[in-house]
Amino acid sequence: MDRSKPICTKVERAAFIDRRLAELYPETPVPLDHTDAYTLLVAVLLSAQCTDKRVNLVTPHLWALADNPADMAKVPVAKIQAVIRPCGLSPQKAKAISGLSKLLIENHGGEVPQTYPELEALPGVGHKTASVVMAQAFGEPSVPVDTHIHRLAQRWKLTNGKNVEQTEKDLKRLFPREHWNALHLRIIFYGREHCTARGCDGTVCEICRTVVPNRKRGIKTKK
């Protein structure tokens, strides 16, 4: 695409964004430290309303207690809660970690299941968490929509921001399926570094200025 030409349509905006993000972030390391599908699942669960940085500080202490479903199922919930307290929502998260570990043993032979219905049936595992696990543990093309992606998709006029479910559908329609797993990480990286909640209002960062050049005032993104 010739950058000197105006970017008018959603398809054109998506194509530019896809290419520019790949230039900025050719590598897409998973932000949450993990060693397998189980430790990724637990780490993603802990990341709800918590930064990845803090989760990565806490999980080594949790893995010292147990790093697999069989061992974690034996750890008292109170002990799990004490370790993960810095991540916030520790009572709910501790119960979920204990509960899902027991269900993995009882129903899945100690393995993390590889389907959305089975993952979302586990305690504390919603669609976004399941999408991250499917993408990053099993390589299934997915677009997990977190707060960064929901915000940026609105600023870049790729979705109306009605809700995260709609944002996910719109992004999947606009971007090649084979790009989804890297794309969602790239958008997160860009949202953290350049198009932050407070540092950009849709008129400041490079991509916002490029894809919506005529925007005169900042926009308020929908939650």
- Tally of CB atoms within 10 A around 192: 14
Calpha distance 134→30 (Å, rounded): 13
Structure tokens at 130: 């399941």
Q: Catalytic residue among 128, 157, 170, 201, which? A: 128
Q: Check if 2 is active-site.
A: no
Q: Check if 146 is active-site.
A: yes
Q: Catalytic residue among 146, 169, 172, 222, which? A: 146
Residue 88's alpha-carbon distances to 37, 83, 93, 210, 214, in angstroms, are 22, 11, 8, 38, 41
Write b or e for each residue in 110-148: b if 16 or more Cβ atoms lie within 10 A of its Cβ, otherwise e: eebbeebebbeebbbbebbbbbbbbbbbeebbbbbbbeb
**For the chain, what is the radius of gyration of the CA atoms?**
19
Question: What's the one-letter identity of residue 160?
Answer: N
- Residues with Cβ within 8 Å of residue 19, at least 6 apart in sequence: 1
Sign of dihedral through CA atoms 12, 196, 203, 207? negative
Sign of dihedral through CA atoms 186, 189, 192, 195? negative
Residues marked as catalytic: 128, 146
